[in-house]
Amino acid sequence: MQAYKKGVRHYDAGEYNLALTQFEKASKGNIDPARLNYYMAESYRQSNRFAEAAPFYQKAIDAKTTEPNAHLYYGYALKSEGRYPDALAQLQQFVTDAPKTTAKATLDKAQREVETLKAINLIAQNKSLITLKNMGGLNSAGAEFAPVVKGDELVFTASRKETQYKNNGQQMLGLYKTKLPSTDETGATTAAGAPEKFSTNIFQGDVNEGTPAFSKDGKTMVFARGNNGKRKGGLDVDLYLSRLGEGNAWSQPIRLPISDSTAWDGSPAFSGDSKTLYFASNRAGGAGGIDLYRTSIDASGRFSRPVNMGRDINTPGDEMFPYVGPDAKLYFASDGHPGLGKLDVFVATRSGGVTRVENMGQPINSPADDFGLIYVDPTKGYLASNRTGGKGDDDIYFFREGPETDTTTTIVEKNTPGAPKTVRYFLAGTVSSNDTPVTPLDSARVRILDDATGEPIAEATTGQAGTFGKYPLQEGKDYTVLAERKGYLTRREPFTMQGKSIPQIFLTKPQTDTTFNVALLLDKGTLNKTFVLENIYYDFDKFNIRPDAAEELDKLVTIMKDNPTLKIELGSHTDAQGTDSYNNKLSQNRAQSAVDYIISKGIDTSRITAKGYGETQLVVKNAKNDEEHQRNRRTEFKILAI
């Protein structure tokens, strides 16, 4: 009983690792298992060790614990392990049994998680064509996270101080630096030497320090520092500022007045012009847990009163680690928006007064914590994760957008003679603008449709290199790849797996992965831009729709259905074999005939008009043969509205 009481005292003081030591001793005695196991589970959860917490929640529930949040936190722990069906069952149990005294924010978050888990398969299908690699020698058995680039150095947070943090038993956090690792074309990283302390003027051994942010000129740094426990009534993290002085020495940090002494303030980030500072805080008045805030910085360096980023960004959960990318988009981590695990990385874009938040998908995100994403150029960057397969706690990973150098991967297994060999097929691709030169398009929405059902088998958003994928395909099936982006005409491309299977006789490996790539070019939706409808020809002196023309007009019908706000003028042109008045009438009849055909396919009459141009816009002047005359007999469409 004595060990149990000591454990409770440590737990109440936030010393969770010391509490666990005492609870483990108490487990050998006659202590109520429901109460003891719940304390142990909570000690692990409060120190961010969800995998270790899960079995103790199960033991507490089996022992009939009366703690109302047992199912809630057990559900979160199971989700962090990727055990989605079990997590859904626990969270549904919590929502059903939640007492009336449950905080609204807690219940709202749980209900959002239930909806997320019901749609987890669709979220999991959102995969980007990204190579992700652990930074190896940079990482340790402790925590490394919050990487940021300053010149030719990578500055990051790591648990390497001599003093131990009683919350989780790890060493205290500090700021460290190393030469920016180099990467080859495959994304492999080259070791950059042992990390060293970032600055002795900033390094304070008895507190946690981390998550640095640097101004555009590199001369101002804002970072988070925890107090040492001696400041009564204050919580454990505030924002501090240091400036680079003579001799490249950083000044003694000063606490920023925007910090709230009764709240947790951390993970700062400057905007591209360094006139705005973003940060995370759980101060009063937010949406629930930790929210994102912004503050403006005037010419004299003074910070304005922080403003909450609003409910489009913030949720009843936690939003942290903001970062403004080279594309001026806001990237951040959240456990409140629909995601695969605990913290997922999201990107927010704002257009027409509407903020759109999108999950960055796999492999950036996983069932574990994924956060602190930064770019070093439009296609490469770093992030932190405590996913399975790392070296310890949080590790720093390098990522590169684009396909792997070798799209065929051998899975090493024992090759039993005569055993059947398998092939897995995947689809990936790029979305670009149909310009000269071709430009990759980020933030394009891509859907892969099963032609047999018309239903999407995968959805994705392209990265900065315009890439998407990989998504599994089935042999012998037909698909359609649909790409859309604001300001461009939506485009679809057919893709078939018929005739693409690799015969067994050519397989030399137990399992082979093969990726097919598709390229979609999107046309800009510029007003009055004209597009020629290929292969829509008319017989001499006729305006009826030929079968070959109907096939091409069906493609225009598809374009209009895929772009429901598009309005067009359909123009028809004749050859010069007739009088002007006759050709004007004939071209108007041809245009109207095409319009009538399109309307018959379900397009509203208000979206399309007919215009006959006669022979006023000949492609081949002075045409001498039927082939040249037929080129003049053509149909075009012009964008009137989009």
pLDDT of residue 68: 92
Residue 411 included in any domain: no
Per residue in 212-260, pLDDT tens?
Answer: 999 999 999 999 998 654 443 445 799 999 999 988 899 999 999 999 9
Q: Which residue has the higher pLDDT, 586 or 419?
A: 586
8 A C-beta contact, residue 481 and residue 492: yes
Q: What is the pLDDT of residue 505?
A: 59
Per-residue pLDDT tens over the stretch 107-155: 988 998 999 898 887 777 767 778 888 888 889 989 999 999 999 899 9
In a domain, 52, yes or no: yes
- Which structural domain, as residue segments, surrounds residue 630? 530-641
Has residue 159 been placed in a domain? yes
Please write the tens of the pLDDT for every residue from 431-457.
999 887 778 898 888 999 999 998 888
Q: Does 406 map to a domain?
A: no
385/241 same-domain check: yes
Q: Do 376 and 445 have their domain in common? A: no
- Residue at which a domain ends, from 87, 107, 124: 124
Same domain, 332 and 223: yes
Q: Does the residue 410 lie in any domain?
A: no
CA–CA distance from 374 to each of 195, 199, 220, 330 (Å)?
19, 22, 18, 11
Q: How many CB atoms lie within 10 A of CB 247?
A: 5
Q: Flag whether 338 is in a domain.
A: yes
| 539 and 515 housed in the same domain | no
Percent of the chain topping pLDDT 90: 53
137 and 116 belong to one structural domain: no
List, as one string, the DSSP characters of 263-290. S-EEEEEE-TTSSEEEEEE--TTSSSSS
Q: Are residues 363 and 446 in the same domain?
A: no
Q: If DSSP codes are grouped into helix, strand and coil, which group holds residue 236?
A: coil
Q: What is the enclosing helix (H) or strand (E) of 5? A: helix 2-12
Question: Which two tokens mark 35?
Answer: 């109460």
Query: The domain that contains 196 carries what CATH number?
Result: 2.115.10.20
Residues 109, 93, single domain; the answer is yes
Choose one of 401, 436, 455: the last residue of a domain.
401
Domains in the chain: how many in total? 4
CB 433 within 8 A of CB 520: no
Distance CA 246, CA 491 (A): 57
pLDDT digits (tens, 9 = 90+) for 68-122: 999 999 999 999 988 999 999 999 999 999 999 998 888 988 998 999 898 887 7
Residues 26-41: tens digit of each pLDDT: 998 888 999 999 999 9
Q: What is the per-residue pLDDT across 472-511, written as a single tens digit (0 to 9) for each? A: 999 899 999 999 998 899 999 999 998 877 666 555 567 7
Q: What pLDDT is stored for residue 188 in this prediction?
A: 45
**Same structural domain for residues 242 and 383?**
yes
Both 137 and 70 in one domain: the answer is no
pLDDT in tens, 340-398: 989 999 999 887 677 889 899 888 999 999 999 999 988 899 999 999 888 878 999 99
Q: Name, of 362-371, 575-584, 629-638, the range with top average pLDDT.
A: 362-371
**What's the residue count for the chain?**
642
Q: 231 with 207: CB under 8 angstroms?
A: no
Segment holding 479, helix H or strand E? strand 478-484
- CATH number of the domain enclosing 96: 1.25.40.10
Mean pLDDT of 165-176: 85
Instruction: State how far the Cα of 230 lies from the Cα of 179, in Å rounded to an integer.
Output: 36
Instruction: Examine the domain organization and report whether 42 and 117 are in the same domain.
Output: yes
How far is it, in rounded angstroms, from Cα 131 to Cα 382?
11
Residue 414 lies in a domain: no
Inter-residue contact 515 to 403 (CB < 8 Å) = yes
Nearest-angstrom CA–CA distance, 441 and 436: 14
Confidence at residue 504, expressed as pLDDT on a 0 to 100 scale = 63
Decide: 158 and 140 in contact? Cβ < 8 Å: yes
pLDDT at 202 exceeding the cut of 50: yes
Q: How confident is the model at residue 186 (pLDDT cuts 50, 70, 90)?
A: very low
413 part of a folded domain = no
pLDDT tens-place string over residues 518-576: 989 999 888 888 888 876 766 767 778 888 788 889 989 999 999 998 999 999 988 88
* CATH number of domain containing 571: 3.30.1330.60
Q: Which of 497, 522, 547 lies at the terminal end of a domain, its last residue?
A: 522
Q: Is residue 467 located within the same domain as residue 547?
A: no
- Is 279 found in the same domain as 136? yes
How confident is the model over 391-430, as pLDDT tens digits? Answer: 878 999 999 886 544 433 333 333 444 556 788 889 999 9
